[in-house]
Amino acid sequence: MPYHNPWVWIGFAGVVLTLLVVDLGVLNRRPHALRVREAMLWSAGLGVLALLFGLFLWRVESPRHALEFYTGYLIELSLSVDNLFVFILIFQYFGVPAAAQPKVLKWGIIDAIVMRGLMITIGALVLARFSWVIYLLGGLLLVTALRMLRQQEIQLKPEHNPMVRLARRFLPISQRYHGTAFFTREAGRWFATPLILVILVVEWSDILFAVDSIPAIFAVTRDPFIIYTSNIFAILGLRALFFVLADAMDRFVYLKQGVGLILSFVGLKMLVSAWVHVPTTVSLLVILAILSLAILGSVLKTRFASERQPSTDYTDSGQ
C-alpha cells in the first residue's frame, strides 16, 4: 500500500469529521428541506474544500497525488450527480414528505461512507493479486456507459426491489408516514412506516451505484487513500446537491449522456492500460471537457426551449 504522510491522514480525518458534525449535527439537527440558496452555498463550499485538499496533497506529498485526487473527485461527483436523479425519482414514487427527505439522505450518506471503504479495500486487494481483473472492470464500465447513452428514461420499479419484497413479507407496513419516524404504534401494534422502504431502496441503489463508481476510479489510481478521499468528498456534498438538483432536474438534459461518455472513456482507458498509458493530466482535462460540454449544452437547450415557448402574458389593449 502506498505511503502517505501522517499529516495527510490527520488532515483528511479532521475535515470529514468537522463536515459531518457541522452538516448533520449543527446546521441540520432538525430535519428540514434545504432552501435552494442554502443548498447551493453548501455545495459550493464543499467544492472549495475539495480544491483546497487537493492543493494540500500537492504541497505535502506530490503533484501526482493531487491530480489523481482531482480526477477521481470529478469522476465520483459526476456519477453521484446522476445517481441523485434516481433518488429524486425514488422520493417522488414513494411520496416522501419534504421534511423526511433529509433524514433519508443523512442515513444514506453515513452508510455510503462505510460501504465505500469496505468495497475500496476489497477492490484494491483483488487488483493487487489479480491484475487482469482491470479488464473485466473496464468491460463492465463500457456496458454501463452504453446502457446510459441509449436509455431515454430511467425505469424505476421499487415494487420489484428484493429488499422491499423481503421487508413487506416480514414487517407490517403502515399505510402513511408519521413525520420522520421509522416505526409507529397503531391500534396497539408496532408498524414500520413507508420511510423504511425508502431507506431500503436508497441503500440498494447506492450498492448498484458503487459497482460503477468504484471501478471507474481504479482507472485513475490504485491508491486506496486517494480513491477513498475522492469518494468521500463527493459523497459529503450529496445531501445539499440533492436539493439543488431537485429544483433544476429538468434543466440538465444532457447530464446522463455526459456521464455515459465519461464512463466510456474510463472503460477504454482500463482496457488499453497494458499498452497505452494515458497521463492523469489528460484524463482530468478530458473529464472536465465532457462535463463542461454537457452542462453548457443543457443550459443552451433549456434556454432555447424557453425562448420558443409562446408567451401567455396577454394584455387588454382596450383598458
Q: Which DSSP string corresponds to 43-95?
A: HHHHHHHHHHHHHHHHHHT-HHHHHHHHHHHHHHHHHHHHHHHHHHHHHHHHT
Residue 306 corresponds to which cell in the numbers above? 424557453
Q: What is the pLDDT of residue 69?
A: 92
Bridge partners, 185 (sequence order): 190
Predicted local confidence at residue 55, as pLDDT: 92
pLDDT of 14 reads 83
Secondary structure (3-state) at 158: helix
pLDDT in tens, the chain (319 residues): 567 778 888 888 888 888 777 766 655 666 666 677 777 888 888 889 889 999 989 998 889 999 999 998 988 888 777 677 778 778 888 888 888 888 888 787 777 777 777 878 787 788 778 888 888 888 878 887 887 777 655 556 666 777 788 888 888 888 888 888 888 888 788 888 888 888 888 888 777 777 767 778 888 888 888 888 888 888 887 777 777 777 666 677 787 788 888 888 888 988 888 788 888 888 889 988 998 898 888 888 877 776 676 655 544 444 4
pTM score, whole prediction: 0.79
User: How confident is the model at residue 158, as a pLDDT?
Assistant: 66
Look up residue 188 and give its amino acid.
G
Angle at 37 between CA 33 and CA 43, to 5 degrees: 85
pLDDT of residue 144: 77
pLDDT in tens, 199-217: 888 888 777 777 767 778 8
Return the pLDDT at 67: 92
Q: Residue 153's pLDDT is what? A: 55
Q: What is the pLDDT of residue 314?
A: 46
The span from the CA of 293 to the CA of 287, in Å, is 10
CA distances from 317 to 154, 209, 247, 314 (A): 47, 57, 36, 9
For residue 132, the model assigns a pLDDT of 82
User: Would you state the pLDDT for residue 182?
Assistant: 86
CA quadruple 269, 270, 275, 279: dihedral sign: positive
Q: Are 2 and 229 in contact (CB under 8 A)?
A: no
